[in-house]
Structure 1
Amino acid sequence: MPPPAIPMLPQPIVELTNSTATTLHYFVSRANITPNSFQTNTVIAACVMFLAILIAWNLPILRDAIAGLKLFTVGVHELCHLAMGLSCGGQVVSICIDPNDGGATHVMGLMRTTPRIPRNPYAMPTFAQTFWSPSAIATLASGYIGSSIVGFLLVFSGFNIVASKACALVLHFGLLVPVLRADHWIAYASIIGCEVLLIGLWFSDHGNALRFYVLFVGVMNLFYVVWDYIDERLFDKRNTSDCAQFSELLGWPTSSWFIFWFVYDSLVFTAAIFAGICVFRRTDDEMYREASKFLPTR
């Protein structure tokens, strides 16, 4: 008996597949991922900033000093929940943005109206696991995903002075928004301090050191899951972490969801570093000359 015939793809599809593979191979072969000294220092600074934020976020005095940046980070995270919840047809009941208790966005109308039949008849699902819906999961996941996207853009921009100056304009107005919700003098003082530092770095040497400020905020947003989870474990904050919410809706321990989202954020962080190295191929002098022409301060 002759062997069965192997199905062949249509010729246009084969040509398209070969063309795409050739194009990807061309760009990969042309990509230079060897960092120069400027980019190497940026990568080292980003890694050190992760440890610095991990310490500052949890120590009593330092966590108040960076309350302004924490409000911005928590606000971005909750804004992503808010946008996705409204997109899925939900109704926002309340939103809380607190530098120490974290954030919480309550959206109604996303859960199922009829209970879900468990696959295992001997299983005892919780109430939330019985009524969860794709809209509820999408709204919950949008917080970490949105924070990672914002963090990716800021870390990526930290490899270029001009891009950092553009991001600094967004951060300037973004830091002013929490003033509307701040209710303590520590929050006001921290926001003012963050704004003064931002403006000072902008007018100092054409914003040459501004990229480290942007990089710091980028790392803080990208790894929000770490601060969210540790806050809950160490300080038993009033607003539970999204990892605990995932555990309540889908099962799995809270620590397992933390590992899942931490691995995801680590991959996004790695992608931001490689993107910054590949895109911003400039020497220190070239980058400095470009920065002196973009919204010059002298």
Structure 2
Amino acid sequence: MPYVNGYPEHNFAVFARDAKESLTPNATQRTTLIVAACYIVAIGILWHVPYVSVILYPFKLLTVGFHEMSHAIAGVLTCAHIHSVELDPDEGGATRMSGGIPWITLPAGYLGSSLIGAALIVCGFDTNAAKIASLAMAAFFLFTLWWARKSWITWLLILGMSGLIVLFWFVAGGVALRYFVLFIGVMSDMYVLWDVIDDTISRKVNGSDASAFAEICGCCPSQVWGVIWLIQAFAFFAAGIIIGIVAFKQSAEQQKEDASHFLPVPGSNAAMQLIPTTLSSMHFCLAATGAVLLCHW
């Protein structure tokens, strides 16, 4: 038997065939990729068209929220005290904290929102995964309100996005929710790419994360860090696509069947069987949320 690098040659053939099958999208995945490509084109066009760009405005604010919450989470993980998370109508934001490790918390904004976008892109390949992602976003919204509860625009944004999630959960057995989660993921990564280029590469903004990070490191200008973060953002985006293709090979029919048994649409037969458990869970969540708010205030 012929050997290649000490291993039987047929093992390489099997590995190559398996890798090719895993990375080759099926019909459902090709549709998802086409929709994602349409999102990229639409976002690129709407971004620069006057008046029409208002369509993207709430989603830009949402991605800014991802950015600022990534700062805040990195701060918590490095023992910082988070004073507030702010979003403003000009599509900006600020996370005010004391303590922590700046060389971790500063790049966490771009890298964290890129990672969130990539994770949502992965979940956009499967209906059940999209349902889980929407629940994760709900938890994310609660944490955001915890630190940004005095910002009226944050309340409006989160209430609006929560309404869309609930609405799309009911459409076509959750298929609309899958494409909505995919859109948010693409939008998040596209926003990171554009923001890094705009703030650090095409023009230098003295108040940007990259400029602050460059001052701390003292070894490279902000444009260099911008390029590094841009490459990492591209890598996250590509990883989201590849993982989605490899992980979720179910056809549209299989996804529909699986989704009918996992957090089904209210009113369906499967949902009626889950009502007692769901009500108990809701009561527990409401009680826990009320207790946390009372303790905080």
TM-score normalised by length of structure 2 = 0.69
Aligned to 1:138: 104
Separation (CA, whole Å) in 2 of partners of 1:67 and 1:175: 18
| RMSD (Å), alpha carbons | 3.6
Aligned to 2:261: 293
The alpha carbon displacement at 1:161 in A equals 0.8
Aligned to 1:41: 31
Aligned to 1:88: 78
Separation (CA, whole Å) in 2 of partners of 1:239 and 1:76: 22
Corresponding position: 1:195 with 2:183: no
CA spacing shift, 1:160–1:106, aligned 2, 3 Å: same
Choose the corresponding residue for 1:182, options 145, 151, 157. Answer: 151
Corresponding position: 1:76 with 2:44: no
Separation (CA, whole Å) in 1 of partners of 2:51 and 2:151: 18
Choose the corresponding residue for 1:268, options 236, 251, 258. Answer: 236
CA spacing shift, 1:68–1:228, aligned 2, 3 Å: same
The alpha carbon displacement at 1:84 in A equals 2.4
Aligned to 1:165: 131
Aligned to 2:273: none
Residue identity matched to 2:170: F
Cα displacement string for residues 205-238 of structure 1 (whole angstroms, at most 9, x for unaligned residues): 10112111101111233344334346658xx9x9
Separation (CA, whole Å) in 1 of partners of 2:138 and 2:159: 11
Residue identity matched to 1:84: A
Q: Which has the larger radius of gyration?
A: 1
State the SS of the aligned residue for 2:65. helix
CA spacing shift, 1:27–1:74, aligned 2, 3 Å: farther
Cα displacement string for residues 271-293 of structure 1 (whole angstroms, at most 9, x for unaligned residues): 11111111111112111111122
Corresponding position: 1:30 with 2:18: yes
8 Å Cα contact 1:69-1:191 kept in structure 2: no
Choose the corresponding residue for 1:100, options 90, 108, 111. Answer: 90
Separation (CA, whole Å) in 2 of partners of 1:59 and 1:239: 27
Aligned to 2:177: 210
Which protein has greater RCO, CA pairs closer than 8 Å, 6+ apart? 1
Aligned to 1:154: 120
The alpha carbon displacement at 1:240 in A equals 3.4
Separation (CA, whole Å) in 2 of partners of 1:86 and 1:190: 24
Q: Structure 2: where are the runs of 5+ without partners? A: 1-5, 269-297
CA spacing shift, 1:37–1:175, aligned 2, 3 Å: same
CA spacing shift, 1:144–1:232, aligned 2, 3 Å: closer
Separation (CA, whole Å) in 2 of partners of 1:150 and 1:241: 20
CA spacing shift, 1:51–1:165, aligned 2, 3 Å: same
Q: Structure 1: where are the runs of 5+ without partners? A: 1-17, 111-134
8 Å Cα contact 1:225-1:261 kept in structure 2: no
Number of corresponding residues: 250
Separation (CA, whole Å) in 2 of partners of 1:172 and 1:153: 15
Cα displacement string for residues 6-26 of structure 1 (whole angstroms, at most 9, x for unaligned residues): xxxxxxxxxxxx99xxx9997
8 Å Cα contact 1:70-1:99 kept in structure 2: no
CA spacing shift, 1:192–1:138, aligned 2, 3 Å: closer
8 Å Cα contact 1:156-1:275 kept in structure 2: yes
Residue identity matched to 1:271: A
After the TM superposition, which of the residue ranges 283-292 and 155-164 deviates more from structure 2? 283-292
CA spacing shift, 1:288–1:215, aligned 2, 3 Å: same
Aligned to 1:221: 188
Separation (CA, whole Å) in 2 of partners of 1:254 and 1:63: 29
State the SS of the aligned residue for 2:93. strand
State the SS of the aligned residue for 1:221. helix
Paired-residue identity, %:
35
Residue identity matched to 1:78: E
